[in-house]
Amino acid sequence: MPDFDVVVVGGGPAGLASAIAARRQGLTVAVLDCAAPAIDKACGEALMPESLTALGEMGIRFDSSTGLPFRGIRFVGDGCTAAAAFPGEPALGLRRLALHRALVTRAEASGVALHWRALEIELAPGGVRHSRGLVRSRWVIGADGQNSRIRHAAGLAAASREKRRYAFRRHYRIAPWTDCMELYWGANCQIYVTPVGPAQVGVAVISSLPHLRVDAALAAFPALEARLRCAAPCSSERGALTVSRTLRSVQRGRVALVGDASGSVDAITGEGLGLCFRQALALAAALSHDNLEQYQAAHDRISRRPRVMAQMLLLLANHDGLRGRVLRTFAQNNQIFERLLAVHIGARPALQIGVDQILRLGWRILTV
Ligand SMILES: Cc1cc2nc3c(=O)[nH]c(=O)nc-3n(C[C@H](O)[C@H](O)[C@H](O)COP(=O)(O)OP(=O)(O)OC[C@H]3O[C@@H](n4cnc5c(N)ncnc54)[C@H](O)[C@@H]3O)c2cc1C
């Protein structure tokens, strides 16, 4: 007899969300993680409106004392500034530690068995083995992040594409100066500034250069550097890889992958957490129907839009001339930027942008 219906390996956002969603389907669930809460990670810490909706479906809502809502995105670069508001509810800037605590609290209240500091985890016949013994389960969910061992052990590592970039983040004690998340575009990197509290912002640098740290990157953005010069850093600098990876398959036999373990989009999209939560809901529904093929189809569907948006944003990151034109177009025509932002966050289907609008956008970019 299995001990649990589901064992989840990895108690990060994807693993905990999967556990909570599976409990809501009436399944018994255990989570194993080699670390202990609250678990931090280098992240832009933006929860887009769609991510908040998915968390709401799992019974997780944040009151006004947690994080800081922001109403849109501002692009800064190539001599201009362009801002676009979200069409509906605001997004939320939230420290990873606070997000992790909220997920752990919800998982405990849902009746998930949580095993922290579980080491040497490996797939075993009938379940998962770790340093303290064997946990028998019907299904295993691999939610162990970018370097997933479950992905390799289950023979799911084959990727149709894979590209890596590098990121560092640090927090500063300063009142946010805007109600938007800002994305600064430079020749070698992008910098995200996310308001995460009434007196705190997070700064995340993303680049193809492995050694580009926050201070060195800020030097290329004098206005931002001047703002932060008087602000005290309030977290240590933390690095991470950001990987664009598409797997051929995210399930096999009794194993399914979720979150970064199941493939990921570049951090420039701010969509990784939203993907985790939507995949978690889809996976729980598929498990309740005993049908992991259903999850594969849902995973493909959920990942499609963020992948396309990531490719568009990386195109801007890599082509200075094109980026200058696009930013100037957005600055001069805020409606175009708002429509594309609505598509980016899933509030508007891409097909609703008509051919005439795309042609007009193309013409503006060419002539601006
Ligand atoms: C610089 C940067 C900025 C980002 N900004 C944003 C943003 O603004 N908004 C957004 O939505 N997304 C953002 N993302 C993406 C987001 O951080 C990830 O998609 C998300 O953290 C993935 O969650 P996960 O649970 O799949 O993986 P992780 O968060 O990596 O969690 C994996 C868990 O598995 C555990 N684990 C790993 N290996 C083992 C093992 N062998 N045994 C046991 N346990 C193990 C770890 O301890 C960890 O708890 C950003 C990413 C980066 C790198």
pLDDT top residue among 237 and 78:
237
- Distance of CA 117 from the midpoint of ligand 1 (Å): 17
Task: Kindly give the distance from the C-alpha atom of residue 37 to the centroid of ligand 1, in angstroms, as a whole number.
Answer: 14
Residue 169 backbone phi and psi in degrees, to 5: -135, 155
Q: Is the CB of 43 under 6 A from ligand 1?
A: yes
Integer distance in angstroms from the first to the last C-alpha of the chain?
67
Q: Given a cut of 70, is residue 290 above it in pLDDT?
A: yes
What percent of the chain has pLDDT above 70?
A: 95
User: Comparing C-alpha atoms, which of 19, 20, 13, 59 is closest to residue 39?
Assistant: 13
pLDDT digits (tens, 9 = 90+) for 121-173: 999 999 999 999 999 999 999 999 999 999 999 999 998 878 999 999 999 99
Pocket test for ligand 1, best of 34, 128, 165, 244 (most atoms within 8 A of CB): 34
How far apart, in whole angstroms, are the C-alpha atoms of residue 309 and residue 350?
11
For residue 96, count other CB atoms closer than 10 A to its CB. Answer: 22
163 neighbors 267 (Cβ within 8 angstroms) = no
189-229, pLDDT tens digit by residue? 999 999 999 999 999 999 999 999 999 999 999 999 999 99
129-133, 240-244, 344-348, 354-358: least confident range: 354-358
Give me the pLDDT at residue 363, please: 66
154: its two tokens: 């289950």
Predicted confidence (pLDDT) at residue 58 exceeds the cutoff of 80: yes
Span 28-48, pLDDT tens digits: 999 999 999 999 999 999 999
Average pLDDT of span 322-336? 91
pLDDT at 64: 84
Over residues 177-187, the mean pLDDT reads 96
For position 354, what pLDDT does the model report?
62
Within a 10 A sphere around the Cβ of 152, how many other Cβ atoms? 12
The answer to whether the CB of 205 is under 6 A from ligand 1 is no
Name the DSSP class of 39: P
**Domains of the chain (ranges plus CATH)?**
4-71+96-162+246-313 (3.50.50.60), 164-241 (3.30.70), 319-367 (no CATH)
- CA–CA gap between residue 72 and residue 68 (Å, rounded): 12
- Higher-confidence residue of 343 and 260: namely 260
How far, in Å, CA of 331 to CA of 333, rounded?
A: 6
**Which residue's alpha carbon is at the smallest distance from atom 2 of ligand 1?**
43
Mutate to test the pocket of ligand 1, among 39, 43, 121 (most ligand atoms within 8 A of CB): 43
User: What average pLDDT is seen over the chain?
Assistant: 94
**Residues 6+ positions from 136 with CB-CB distance below 8 Å:** 1, 2, 3, 4, 126, 127
| Structure tokens given for 258 | 């979720």
The Cα 354–Cα 362 span in angstroms is: 12
Helix (H, G, I), strand (E, B) or coil at 213: coil
Work out the pLDDT band at 348, boundaries 50, 70, 90: confident
- The whole-angstrom separation of Cα 175 and Cα 103 is 27
Number of other CB atoms surrounding residue 45 within 10 Å = 27
pLDDT band, residue 347 (cuts 50/70/90): confident
Q: What pLDDT was estimated at residue 287?
A: 98
Spatial strand order in the sheet of 46-47 = 46-47, 91-93, 68-70
Residue-level pLDDT at 159? 87
**CA 101 – ligand 1 centroid, Å:** 14
Quick: pLDDT tens for 4-13: 999 999 999 9
Structure tokens at 135: 């946990």
Mean pLDDT calculated for residue range 304-329? 93
Query: Is the model's pLDDT at 364 over the cut of 80?
Result: no
Q: Which atom of ligand 1 is least distant from the CA of 51? A: 11
The Cα 74–Cα 187 span in angstroms is 18
Amino acid, single-letter form, for residue 107: A
- 202 SS3 class: strand
Quick one: pLDDT at residue 366?
Answer: 64
Residue 13 in contact with residue 277, Cβ under 8 Å?
Answer: yes
pLDDT at 44: 97
Reported as a pLDDT band with limits 50, 70 and 90, residue 1 is confident
Sign for the pseudo-dihedral over CA of 315, 91, 68, 338: positive
Extended beta strands in 226-319, E state: 232-233, 238-247, 251-252, 255-257
145 lines ligand 1 (CB under 6 A): yes
Q: Which residue's CA is the closest to the ligand 1 atom numbered 12?
A: 272
pLDDT at residue 358 in the model:
65
